[in-house]
Structure 1
Amino acid sequence: MPYLDILYQDDDIIAIHKPAGLLVHPSWIAPKKTPNLVYSLKRYLRGEPVYTIHRLDRATSGVIVFAKKKEVAQALNAMFAERKVQKTYLCVTRGFVPEEGVIDYALKPIFDKKADPLADPDKPAKEAVSAYRRLGTVELPIPIGKYPCARYSLVEVKPTTGRKHQIRRHMKHIFHPLVGDTKYGEGRHNRLFREHFATRRMLLMATELSFEHPTTGEMLTIKAPVSRKVSELFDQLGWQGLYPAPVERTERQLEALAGAIDDDDSFELSEDSD
């Protein structure tokens, strides 16, 4: 049975560990009644209001924060807009990424023609900045294309702006696309991970958010470990100790986390979803 993995909660905000493959909101691109995080969260809060502050792509897992009060939502939205929230992501890229660097490459806004048919497709590119550092590398004795081996990097990324698909587009820009990214990545590398590691998901995870609590003023850091399956994959690649490992939970903790879902719900959340 699926559950809400609550990372932090108080009277003002709630932070959830979103699994890969789960929509944040209902979407016209998904069949009707496709599970979404906001729906489950509203059920958990028993009809109390919930305000979206930021989003994660469907294929991205990790920490996402919601507000429980309108004034708190306004304060958090201002923090994101003013770049007062520090965001940390973990990803796997093709090739050996340089040890560290900053990608300062403006990105054009992405509009959905069906969702927003009146949007101007010719809007100029906006500032987009992502700092990154390489945590680990691996060379696999698996031929790919004209190369006898396949090389990959484990990378930490801290974006200071929040453009749509920013990390995915920035890593592609420096010729190191994300593994599992079916839009900006490379099919042969995605296939390698499917065939050799049974990994179908995009390997991008929001692992940490740090910001000043809008009510108490205290600095708050919320962390999301990688899933068990991702942890097993990273261990296979020799990256033990380089990533936030999953937290072991007791049966009682798992039962407590299941508060938003009734027993008759017929869907499951799969981190293998694209």
Structure 2
Amino acid sequence: MLELLLDADGLLAVHKPAGLLVHPSRMDAHEHDTLLTRAEAQFGQRLQPLHRLDKGTSGLLLLARDSATAARAGAWVRDGLVIKHYLALVRGWPAADAGLIDHPLARDPERPSQGQPQLEAQTRWCCLRRLAWPLVTRPGFADTRAALLRIEPLQGRRHQIRRHCKHAGHPLIGDATHGKGALNRALAAHLGLSRLWLHAWRLQLPDGRRLQADPGPEWNQFIA
């Protein structure tokens, strides 16, 4: 059963587990166990997801019960009126405590950037905690450093957080596409868990309602 966080005015908010697709994709067309199939079975009707979370990302996801709600709330998401905050574990220690990544992104991250439209994209971030483990993952360094960030993407470009973190030199831990494979494998063995360390934590709707999906217990080791 999915954890239900909101059920009002045609809107549902649920807590998506890490490792679960929102709906079948081109790369995973054979996958039948998705958040959408689970939610439709749980709530007994057809539903429409209002935004995306990558398969590896956990946390808050909005769904619409009907087409009118999907149109209304989908416009909120498209126009940037839904404020989203994520938790992310990234490689290294940022030089500052907070900042803004302002870097245009190609529309489709799975195609070469050259020749594609470059879309405006900004991501605010704040460092919540700096961590270090006595684990050698780079020659000449006696420990491995990481940082827990609170991240707010101002748009919803595909893989925006993952691509912006890579651009800033602090890729997400566990990101197989934009991260560092050797580091990911070493930390997965050290932490005893392999996952993309990105969690959709908090969300504010245009009417002021605030929703929160508490991160799973695996995050406790990073959250003071």
- 3-state SS of 1:6 partner: strand
What secondary structure sits across from 1:130 in the alignment?
strand
TM-score normalized with structure 1 length: 0.76
- The 5 A counterparts of 1:86-235 are 86-97=83-94, 98-110=96-108, 122-146=115-139, 147-212=141-206, 218-231=207-220, 233-234=221-222
Compare the two structures and name the one with the higher strand fraction.
Answer: 2
Please list the CA deviations of residues 218-250 of structure 1 after superposition, one character each: whole Å capped at 9, or x if unmatched. 42111001112232x32xxxx32xxxxxxxxxx
Q: Return the TM-score normalized by structure 2.
A: 0.93
Distance 1:31 1:25 in 2: 9
Partner Cα distance (1:157, 1:66) in 2: 22
Q: Which consecutive segments of 4 or more residues in structure 1 shift more than 6 A?
A: none
Letter paired with 1:229: E
Task: Write the distance in 1 (CA, Å) between the matches of 2:40 and 2:150.
Answer: 32
The answer for the alignment partner of 1:9 in structure 2 is 7
Q: Deviations over 1:128-166 (max 9, x none)?
A: 000000000012222221211111100000011110000
Q: Give me the whole-angstrom Cα distance separating, in 2, the residues matched to 1:206 and 1:15.
A: 12
- Identify the residue that residue 52 of structure 1 maps to in structure 2: 49
Amino acid at match of 1:154: L
Q: Distance in 2 between matches of 1:84 and 1:103?
A: 19
| Aligned residue type for 1:189 | L
- Structure 1, residues 33-85: CA drift from partner, whole Å, max 9, x if none? 53101111111222x23122101000101100011121111111111121111
Instruction: Mark the runs of 5 or more structure 1 residues left unpaired by the alignment.
Output: 114-119, 213-217, 241-274
Structure 2 Cα separation of the partners of residues 52 and 121 of structure 1: 31
The equivalent residue for 1:70 is 67
CA distance in 1, matches of 2:71, 2:29: 31
What is the alpha-carbon distance in structure 2 between the residues aligned to residue 66 and residue 195 of structure 1? 35
For 1:220, the aligned partner's letter is R
Shift of 1:90: 0.4
2: distance between equivalents of 1:172 and 1:189?
14
The answer to whether the 8 Å contact 2:49/2:61 transfers is: no
Letter of the structure 2 residue corresponding to residue 173 of structure 1: H
Partner of 1:194, secondary structure, is helix
Deviation string 1:153-207 (CA, Å, 9 cap, x unpaired) is 0000001111000000001001000100000001122112211111200100000
Alignment partner of 1:219: what SS?
A: coil
CA distance in 2 between partners of 1:49 and 1:140 (Å): 46
Structure showing greater relative contact order (alpha-carbon pairs closer than 8 Å, 6 or more residues apart): 1
> Rg larger in 1 or in 2?
1
Contact 1:90/1:157, CA 8 A, preserved across alignment: yes
What is the Cα deviation at residue 111 of structure 1?
Answer: 6.1
The one-letter amino acid of 2:85's match is: T
Query: C-alpha root-mean-square deviation of aligned residues, in Å?
Result: 1.7
The answer on whether the counterparts of 1:24 and 1:38 sit within 8 Å (CA) in structure 2 is: yes
Distance 1:219 1:49, change over 3 A: same
Cα pair 1:111 1:121 within 8 Å, conserved: no
**Number of paired residues?**
221
Alignment match of 2:32 (pick from 22, 31, 34) = 34
Q: Which runs of 5+ in 2 are unaligned?
A: none
